[in-house]
Amino acid sequence: MKALAAIIGIGITKFGEHWNKGIKELLAEAQLKALEDSGISEKDIQQIYVANMCADSLSGQLHLGSIASQILGINVPSYRVEAACASGGVAINAAINALRHKDIVLVSGVEKMTDVDTAKVTTALMGAGNEEWEEFHGATFPALYALMANAYMHEFGFAEEKFREILSKIAVKNHKHASKNPFAQFPREITLQQANNASIVAYPLRLFDCSPISDGAAALVLCKPELAKKFCDNPVYVVASAVATDTLALAERESLTSLKATRLAANDALNQAGISIKDINVFEVHDCFTIAELIAMEDLGIAERGKASKLIEEEQTYYDASIPINPSGGLKAFGHAVGATGIKQAVELTKQLRNEAYCQVENAEFALSHNVGGSGGTAAVHIYARRLL
Amino acid sequence: MQNAGIVGYGCYIPRYRIKVEEIAKHYGKNAEEIKRGLMLEEKSVPAKDEDSATIAVEAAKNALKRAEHVAELHKKISAVYVGSESHPYAVKPTATIVAEALGLSNNYTAADTEFACKAGTASLQMAMGLCLSNIAEYALAIGVDTSQAAKGDALEYSAAAGGGAFIIGTKRNEFVAEILHTLSFSTDTPDFWRRSTQLTPKHAGRFTGEPAYFKHVATAAKMIMEKYGYKPEDFNYVIFHQPNGKFPLRVAKKLGFKEEQIKPGFIVPKLGNTYSGNIPLSLNAVLDIAAENELILAVSYGSGAGSDAFIIKTTPLLKEVQSKTTKALQYLNENKIYLSYAEYLQHMEMIH
């Protein structure tokens, strides 16, 4: 097994409503924490990738590369990476590629979403969809994922009530995980009944099926794997980094109930690592909506098509069960600060492999993160290892 | 130490109402969800010929009726402040209209105040200041609004009409309630605003919660209790600004107050948010039923943002004036006329 990079420092802000912090403050908190965690000096950072989706549309701010380096008082090359909600995962992929030429690279992600009203955020997020075929006609992301949920129910023959229970169980599980995580936006449990009876956002999706609008930032210090032990005793290795793309509009896809980009990226990542999906001990998957977690389980190969609900019903995806999924609380309950989400997944999985997580999965050797842009136009899959076998 | 006190109090609420269901129906919204979420059932609406000036006059008349124990009070009121964000004129005082209608002497200073929903309590503090510095013998402080809300906005379910008036003096034997302490906590926080050229206010959604309402109300309440050595259990009644039903109950619970302390002043579910009239009206409701020597904590909130906190102690005289005129709950619960949404828009001059 060959490592592509080592994670030697992690930093994250609480996700949620940071009324008194802007993009720069959030990014500074995450980046400085990551730097402190790594023990290296800011002068050692040779390149920066900063993931972000909406700073221009929500804050009127572009040129985040400059902000990210200014925070550290350095003048290195610094790039903003945008791939909608997959910005973080794609930025990690870009940073790993940069390690061919550089020794130490910082990758961060940030999103400031709560300074404007919900309508503006909804419109800005639709930038991840197809402007001509989706946004122009009034589609929103809850609507697109609701279409996927309806198609899933239809294709696999689920009765409405039964399907409702399955989606609610995903939300209940992710809230349970988040309840132990002080960095989560919603660190509290919900009941099945609350999830079942919540307001409808876009049928069949109800309030607790949807990830929230969040502010937050996360950062990683990556280095060449062979240098890792020089900086820390407990590096976490990235053993696979895969990104795949697919059509932008949902209507152009081969299927409404499976994301090709996820399938391609997952296959690529597992091949790179030379392991099977069964070897993965803990997952952070892109549950922007509960239906997305269900579909991700199938596209990643955790369950067969149309069969993931069985694992949910049997409660096998809790952190202390057989296939831990989203022990951080997921996007649903940890929060979804869009540009930071992919990086946050890596931060949380690094904590898992360092035995520092709040919902600690015991004896995890391999972890997998799955980060999706839009309704599946991009997917980034990374695999992390506690040690190199 | 000399304190200022309330020598007379009164209020007025228009008789028209619109139910949450009626507004929700118009927008295809789920009324039950809104009622549960905001803890509101209905709100007051002004008559077509009522505005903040007429409501202020009605409230002040009631305050004068409860201050008949002060001889020739009309002639002795030498300051009039009217707090509102719906003054009929942008330039021209409401306060002089009110003073003239009440038949006060012309030897008074007057001004209109604005501080979103706490213009009424700001007026009260100004009245106290003038009396305590012997510039005015008695001062009239009014908080009143025919609250504005944009069509379709969440505020439309709450923005209501009404007001309360207080006559302030410094002679202890005339007090129906003594204002023992007041202090304020203010910051520049843009959570809710209306530019002079706009007819209805705008607000910053969830930003109006934690960093705005809760921060200011909780801080002012804690500050006044800490500074003067009170604990939540010392108060018989507590009133927090009621923009909806949810916020005041949440802040009260957070600070350790009990339901029985909150309930007497908790009138928002059937009244709505009367903006500057909010605390003046709920303080009226409490004074209407309080016994002698009871303690009241009242904390207003005005967007923009600030909170005025008051610790008030009732006197034996209160019982004698309570029934001299219409009480807050009578205005709230009697003689109501329900409007359709179209009629409501006419009353609010949004359609003609």
CB contact under 8 A, A20 and B210: no
Q: How far is A168 from chain B (nearest CA, A)?
A: 19
Distance, C-alpha A302 to centroid of its chain: 17
All residues of chain B having their beta carbon less than 8 Å from the beta carbon of residue A197 are none
Alpha-carbon span B352 to B283, nearest angstrom:
35
Residues of A whose CB is below 8 A from B211: 19-20
Give the start-end residues of each E strand in B251-318.
295-299, 304-314
pLDDT (tens digit per residue) in A291-344: 999 999 999 999 999 999 999 999 999 999 999 999 999 999 999 999 999 999
For residues B147 and B193, membership in a common domain is answered with: no
Domains of chain A: 5-117+214-236 (3.40.47.10), 127-209+238-385 (3.40.47.10)
- Shared-domain flag, residues B158 and B188: no
Residue B115 lies in a domain: yes
Q: Is residue B324 part of a domain?
A: no
Cβ of A117 within 8 Å of Cβ of B30? The answer is no
Q: What sign does the dihedral A79-A84-A88-A90 (CA atoms) show? A: negative
Confidence of residue B196 (pLDDT cuts 50, 70, 90): confident
Question: Cβ contacts of residue B316 below 8 Å, gap of 6+?
Answer: B292, B293
Residue B301 falls inside a structural domain: yes
> What does the pLDDT look like over B119-129, one tens digit per residue?
999 999 999 99
Confidence of residue A173 (pLDDT cuts 50, 70, 90): very high
How many structural domains does chain B have? 2
Look up A336 and say whether it is catalytic. Answer: yes
- Write the CB contacts of B116 (distance below 8 Å, at least 6 apart in sequence): B85, B192, B193, B275, B276, B302, B303, B304, B305
For residues B261 and B235, the answer to whether their CB atoms sit within 8 Å is yes
Question: What is the extent of the structural domain holding B39?
Answer: 4-175+332-347
- Enter the ipTM: 0.76
Q: How confident is the model at residue B206 (pLDDT cuts 50, 70, 90)?
A: confident
- Out of A17, A117, A199, name the one closest to residue B210 (CB): A17
Query: pLDDT at residue A389 above 80?
Result: no
Domain-embedded: residue B33:
yes
Out of B50, B87, B117, B156, the active site residue is B117
- Residue B326 resides in a domain: no
| Mean pLDDT for all residues in chain A | 97
The pLDDT of residue A308: 98
Q: What is the pLDDT of residue A43?
A: 97
How big is chain B, counted in residues?
352
Tell the residue number behind the tokens 């020598």, with chain if given: B7
Mapped onto helix, strand or coil, the DSSP state of residue A223 is strand
Segment B19-33 shows an average pLDDT of 95
**8 Å CB contact of A117 and B204:** yes
Residue B234 forms part of a structural domain: yes
Question: Which chain B residues are within 8 Å of A20, Cβ to Cβ?
Answer: 211
CATH number for the domain that contains residue B276? 3.40.47.10
User: What is the rounded CA–CA span in Å between residue A265 and residue A249?
Assistant: 19
- Same domain as B169, residue B45: yes
Are both B127 and B218 inside the same structural domain? no
User: Which SS3 state, helix, strand or coil, does residue B258 take?
Assistant: coil
Q: Judge if B201 and B107 occupy the same domain.
A: no
Nearest to B211 among A19, A118, A199 (CB): A19
Q: Which amino acid is at B312?
A: I
Please, which residues have CB within 8 angstroms of residue A242's CB and are 6 or more apart in sequence? Answer: A93, A264, A265, A266, A268, A269, A272, A380, A381, A382
Chain A nearest-CA distance from B207, in A, is 7
Is residue B87 a part of any domain in this protein? yes
pLDDT digits (tens, 9 = 90+) for A98-110: 999 999 999 999 9
The average pLDDT across B195-202 equals 92
Q: What span, in angstroms and rounded, lies between the C-alpha atoms of B66 and B7?
A: 8
**A360: its two tokens:** 């600690």
Cβ separation of A20 and B206 shorter than 8 Å? no
Confirm or reject contact between B207 and chain A (CB < 8 A): yes
Chain B positions in Cβ-Cβ contact with residue A17 (cut-off 8 Å): 206, 210
CA distance A163 to A159: 6
What is the model's pTM? 0.87
Q: Which of A18, A175, A286, A336 is flagged as catalytic?
A: A336
Looking at the fold, whether B204 and B314 belong to one and the same domain comes out as yes
Helix (H) or strand (E) run with residue A12 in it:
strand A5-12
Greatest CA separation for chain A: 59
Q: Are residues B15 and B123 in the same domain?
A: yes
Tell me the average pLDDT across A178-190.
98
Same domain, yes or no, for B131 and B259?
no
Distance CA A80, CA A68 (A): 9
Residue B260 is a catalytic residue: no
What CA–CA distances, in Å, run from A228 to A9, A95, B346?
A: 10, 16, 73
Q: So what's the pLDDT on residue A1? A: 85
Tell me the nearest-neighbour CA distance from B256 into chain A, angstroms: 21
Of the partner residues B30, B205, B211, the one whose CB lies closest to the CB of residue A118: B205
State how far residue B205 is from chain A, nearest Cα, in angstroms.
Answer: 6
Looking at the partner chain, which of B30, B33, B206 has a beta carbon nearest the beta carbon of A17?
A: B206
Report the percent of chain A where pLDDT is more than 90.
Answer: 98
A-B contacts at Cβ under 8 angstroms: 13
Q: What confidence score (pLDDT) does residue B3 get?
A: 98
* CA dist A14 → A96, A116, A181, B278 (Å): 25, 19, 9, 36
Q: Is B33 on the interface with A (CB under 8 A)?
A: yes
For residue A311, give the DSSP letter: H
Q: Are residues B167 and B235 in the same domain?
A: no
Residues B27 and B153 occupy one common structural domain:
yes
User: Is B264 within the bounds of a domain?
Assistant: yes
Residues B52 and B193 in one domain: no
- Give the pLDDT band of residue B80 (cuts 50, 70, 90): very high
B20, B154: one domain: yes
pLDDT the model gives residue A26 = 98
Taking alpha carbons only, the member of A216, A202, A296, A227 closest to residue A15 is A216
Instruction: Report the alpha-carbon distance of residue A250 to residue A229 in Å, rounded.
Output: 45
Burial label for B156, CB within 10 Å (0-12, 13-18, 19+), is buried
